[in-house]
């Protein structure tokens, strides 16, 4: 069985994000970058399936600039066997990512594609679902538990009313939720070994895919600063302020 995991390079979750001077995007220059946390969970699950003997090869794929090789190397240090980078300097929307991953899947023929349910930079939560639709594969989204048996996967999903367990046929697309596992830290020996693992670099122009953006960003701005609170003497004064100043009640 071959498993493909998709990983994305994003601003580290510990960094306070700021809007760039042009107001067009989040500032990424001289900012610490790391693997998207949900993708770390996807890699960890792939590694665990490999360690349990249910996966023969684990391939990490990323779409982005040459710096995304660092993210792939992290996946390799965690236990992936090799990496694939679709190299581009342009930001790619979820539909474009799904189209590119579809081409990679047609080349690699994976039995399972595991992706993070969303990236913490755009919070789109779309790529896994779009990829499953383009491939016409079953999907198990928001997975908090995965059990693989022969040609089927049981996926426990986190839904609004609790947990839902479904059984899907392979090949399939699975997206990971927070409670699926706790990603491991890559050890120094594994980090050194990862430097010798292969990464195939594919220029995005080679794939000849329409990745034209469907959304135009007009402006990016920081939320307004919160005003200091005030102490009121009684409920009547509170109601007056809510009605006349905040205008949240009538």
Taking only the tens place, the pLDDT of each residue in 51-89 is 999 999 999 999 999 999 999 999 999 999 999 999 999
By the 10 Å C-beta count (0-12 exposed, 13-18 middle, 19+ buried), 203 is classed as exposed
Q: What is the pLDDT of residue 246?
A: 80
> Would you say 196 and 187 are in contact if contact means Cβ atoms under 8 Å apart?
no
| 32: enclosing H helix or E strand | none
> Would you say 107 and 101 are in contact if contact means Cβ atoms under 8 Å apart?
no
pTM of the model: 0.87
The answer to whether position 37 is within a domain reads: yes
Q: What is the pLDDT of residue 230?
A: 85
The answer to whether position 23 is within a domain reads: yes
| 14: enclosing H helix or E strand | none
Q: Who contacts 91 (Cβ-Cβ below 8 Å, separation ≥6)?
A: 213
Q: What is the pLDDT of residue 70?
A: 95
Q: Who contacts 180 (Cβ-Cβ below 8 Å, separation ≥6)?
A: 41, 44, 45, 143, 144, 145, 146
The answer to whether position 142 is within a domain reads: yes
The answer to whether position 163 is within a domain reads: yes
Q: What is the pLDDT of residue 165?
A: 96
The answer to whether position 235 is within a domain reads: no
The answer to whether position 156 is within a domain reads: yes
**CATH for 153:** 3.40.50.620
**41 token code pair:** 């969970």
Structural domain harbouring 39: 2-224
Peptide bond into 245 cis (omega under 30): no
Q: What is the pLDDT of residue 22?
A: 87
Report the domain count for the chain. Answer: 1
Regions in the chain scoring below 70 on pLDDT = none
**30 token code pair:** 């001289």
Q: What is the pLDDT of residue 24?
A: 86
The answer to whether position 243 is within a domain reads: no
The answer to whether position 238 is within a domain reads: no
Q: What is the pLDDT of residue 44?
A: 97
């Amino acid at each position: 069985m071959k498993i493909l995991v998709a990983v994305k390079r994003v601003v580290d979750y510990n960094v306070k994000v700021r809007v760039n001077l042009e107001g067009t995007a989040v500032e990424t220059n001289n900012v610490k970058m790391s693997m998207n946390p949900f993708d770390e969970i996807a890699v960890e699950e792939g590694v665990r399936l490999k360690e349990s003997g249910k996966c023969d090869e684990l391939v990490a794929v990323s779409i982005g600039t040459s710096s995304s090789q660092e993210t792939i190397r992290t996946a390799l240090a965690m236990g992936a066997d090799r990496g694939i980078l679709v190299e581009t300097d342009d930001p790619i929307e979820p539909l474009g990512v799904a189209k590119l991953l579809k081409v990679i899947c047609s080349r690699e023929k994976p039995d399972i594609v595991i992706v993070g349910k969303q990236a913490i930079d755009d919070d789109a939560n779309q790529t896994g679902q779009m990829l499953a639709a383009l491939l016409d594969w079953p999907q198990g989204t928001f997975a908090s538990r995965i059990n693989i048996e022969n040609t089927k996967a049981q996926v426990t999903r986190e839904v609004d009313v609790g947990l839902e367990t479904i059984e899907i046929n392979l090949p399939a697309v699975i997206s990971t939720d927070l409670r699926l596992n706790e990603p491991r830290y890559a050890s120094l020996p594994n980090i050194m070994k990862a430097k010798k693992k292969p990464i195939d670099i594919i220029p995005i122009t080679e794939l000849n895919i329409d990745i034209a953006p469907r959304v135009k960003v007009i402006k990016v701005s920081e939320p307004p600063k919160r005003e200091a609170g005030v102490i009121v003497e009684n409920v009547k004064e509170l109601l007056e302020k809510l009605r006349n100043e905040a205008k949240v009640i009538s």
